[in-house]
Amino acid sequence: MADEEKPLPPKLDVARYLLAQGSLFVHLDPRVDTVAVPESYRSEPQLVLQIGFDMPVPIRDLEVDADGIYGTLSFNRSPFTCRVHWDAVFALAGDDGRGMVWPESMPEEISEEIEREAGREPPPPVVEERPSLRVLPALDENAHSTSSTPPKPGDRPPYLKVVK
Q: pLDDT confidence of 91, banded at 50, 70, 90?
A: very high
Average of per-residue pLDDT across 30-57: 94
> Cα–Cα distance between 67 and 31 in angstroms, integer?
17
Q: Please state which CATH class domain 11-116 belongs to.
A: mainly beta
Residues linked to residue 79 through DSSP beta bridges, in sequence order: 74
Q: Is 151 helix (H, G, I), strand (E, B) or coil?
A: coil
Distance set, CA 81 to CA 16, 44, 104, 111, 129 (Å): 20, 19, 27, 29, 56
pLDDT digits 0-9 by tens, 105-129 = 999 888 888 887 877 655 566 666 6
Residue 1 has pLDDT above 50, yes or no: no
pLDDT digits 0-9 by tens, 19-30 = 999 999 999 999
pTM passes above 0.85: no
Residue 140 has pLDDT above 90, yes or no: no
Asked whether the beta carbons of 38 and 80 are under 8 A apart, the reply is yes
Task: Give the DSSP H/E element, type plus range, for residue 47.
Answer: strand 47-51
